[in-house]
Structure 1
Amino acid sequence: MMKKILAILLLSVSFSAVVASESFDITDVEGRTIHFDQHPNTFVVANYIANFMMVGGKSSLDKVIALTKDGWEETRFGEYQVFTQSFPKMKELPSIGGYHDDILNAEKILSLHPDVLLIGRTQYTENNQRIKTFENAGIKVVVLDYHAMTTANHTRSTEILGKMLNREDIAAAQNKTYRDSLEHVYQTIRNLPQDKKNQRAYMETASKGVGRYGNSYNKDVLWGAILKNIEAANLAENSPQPYMALDREYVISQNPQIIFIGGSIWRNKSEGDQMRMGFTVKADDAQKRLAAFTQRPGWNRLDAVKNNQVYAVDHGSLRNMADYTFTQFMAKTLYPEAFKDIDPEKNLNDFYKTYLPELKYDGTFMIHLNKAQ
């Protein structure tokens, strides 16, 4: 009998030691500490599914039980096509809210009862009253951020994913690439003469087509944050809202020296002449659409147009660990000699091939206007 008791005690101690060794804490980007007794098995990914899979690999999708899919096909058509064709399971997963907004279906999330709900910062803010409800139901809510375009938040979020998915080595490798690549850009720019900096830059996400000006971004978010980081004089830098359309008269009066047009495939009323970039987009189509924007009234007088400093970038490619390549691309357009040895498009291709090789990757992501168009 004593031997049996000792055996049971030893098994209990052994089990407790295993549990203790698997337990860990994380601190999310909102500064909230979340404790895990073991690595979670089920996730509802309300934001950043590409980052989740870049860290976790193809098999990590088996742990995902729901996504925010409402409006995904309409707002990121190319991305939707490529991801759902490469990973058909995504079509079968239920939707728990909006892909391009902060609406979450709390009732659906509670019914699925995941181990973890992954959300972005604006989702956290807009659903603040529901967070406690989720937590009281035993769901761990973890806040990530890839929107602010800061090295700290990108790498912190990736570190968190690595910890939860037990892929810390992959997360560390991605973070090293991200940090080293951006620090090289920033240090190179810091060392340049001051008179080479502060070129007037206009950036527009052209979802509304040629006839209506689309959103520009202030210094705190997305393209605006990138322009601030590479010391360009962004026309929208001090806008009172994170993103808003600038007046036509203002843009022309500021006479930008360089123009970036952001594209995607938005299924809306401006689909005919919107700027298209990203997954599934052919380079010839992107060039033709970009050329049309230079024909806007008054743009023939702009230095950027006269000097052929007009570029297009894929708006959908921000908010993930490969987006450092867009900082490289924009820096190279502003300071071509300083970054002549960097190939941002190759770096983007290599990142996907390394961390998500199953993705059927094709499209147009960064271009310089071909004046022959």
Structure 2
Amino acid sequence: MEEQGIPVVVVDYNAQTVERHVASTVLFGQLTGQDSRGKEIADFYAGALKDIATRIAASGKPKPKVYVEFGNKGPAEYSFTYGKNMWGAMSTAAGGDNIAAPFVEWWGPINPEQVLASKPDAIFISGRENNKSETALPMGEGVKADEARGKLKAFETRQGWSELPAVKNGQLFGVYQGASRTISDFAMVQYIAKQLYPEQFKHVDPVADYLGYYKKYLPVVPEGTFAIAVKG
């Protein structure tokens, strides 16, 4: 491509870091001749993550243990969890102690016994609209809350999960897989942080902020289920 005079640019939202999200967004603005818009959105994201970090720091709490899993295979089989990037990085930014970090570098399944041994305080299952498995967690555009909650609740039936602090205390949540690796993922970080530090985020509405981002910066506003607790 370079031989043909076509410039090659690289953006990276997959690393799930503020620095790369910001740099990638600024670059998109430059490439499309919308420098000021790109910078505005990048600054918005950086500000949102800074606000989250400030609230967490003010809590003075030890980091709760967190487990995140892609729910595309349903309860019968453990699917990907995340280490340094994607939901792993997001749960860390939300003030969580990611139990998978010592065992999974980027993404991959974890030994079920390790989840039981780690005793997470909160569990987040990510879901999407289109799934091959009937028992997968549906989340996102056009998904009804009752459907998502019913599929999420089925994860409680996994062997040994009834004894986990997260399940005992109703700290099992569904989040939208499509809201990762994008500027709008600030809202998913907010949502995770709100569950871990409820007092610091009691006046924050992550789903409203997610939809507000669409209203302000995008031509369409999605309708569906983007974050949900097993106990509604």
TM-score, reference length from structure 1: 0.60
Which residue matches 1:197? 62
Q: Deviations over 1:118-152 (max 9, x none)?
A: xxxxxxxxxxxxxxxx1112211110011111111
The one-letter code sitting in structure 1 at the alignment partner of 2:206 is: P
2:33 counterpart of 1:136: no
Q: CA deviation at 1:265?
A: 3.2
Residue 191 of structure 2: aligned partner? 329
Q: Which runs of 5+ in 2 are unaligned?
A: none
Q: Give the aligned partner of residue 72 of structure 2.
A: 207
Percent of aligned pairs with the same amino acid: 34
Q: Which amino acid aligns with 1:330?
A: I
Deviations 1:317-338 (A, max 9, x none): 1111111111111111100001
Query: Is it true that 1:301 corresponds to 2:168 in the alignment?
Result: no
Deviations 1:290-349 (A, max 9, x none): 011111121111111110011110111111111111111111110000111111101110
- Provide the C-alpha distance between the structure 2 equivalents of 1:329 and 1:171, rounded to a whole number of angstroms: 25
Which aligned pairs between 1:53-68 and structure 2 lie closer than 5 A? none
Q: Distance in 1 between matches of 2:218 and 2:53?
A: 27
SS of 1:140 mapped into structure 2: coil
Separation of aligned partners in 2, 1:176 and 1:311: 29
If asked which structure has higher relative contact order (CA below 8 Å, sep 6+), I would say 2
Residue 345 and residue 301 in structure 1: after superposition, are their counterparts in 2 closer, same or farther (change >3 A)? Answer: same
Q: Is the 8 A contact 1:205 1:214 kept in 2?
A: yes
Partners of 2:30 and 2:223 lie apart in 1 by 30
Deviations 1:238-280 (A, max 9, x none): 2343101111111112111111001113442xx2101111112
1:253 matched to 2:100 = no
Is the contact made by 2:141 and 2:225 (CA closer than 8 Å) also made in structure 1?
Answer: yes
Length, aligned pairs only: 232
* Structure 2 Cα separation of the partners of residues 183 and 231 of structure 1: 12
Partner of 1:166: 33
Matched, 1:150 2:17: yes
Q: Which runs of 5+ in 1 are unaligned?
A: 1-133
**Match of 2:157, SS?**
coil
Aligned equivalent of 2:152, options 279, 290, 296: 290
- Aligned equivalents of 2:26 and 2:116: distance in 1? 43
Q: What SS class does the counterpart of residue 212 from structure 1 fall into?
A: coil
Q: Partner amino acid for 1:202?
A: Y
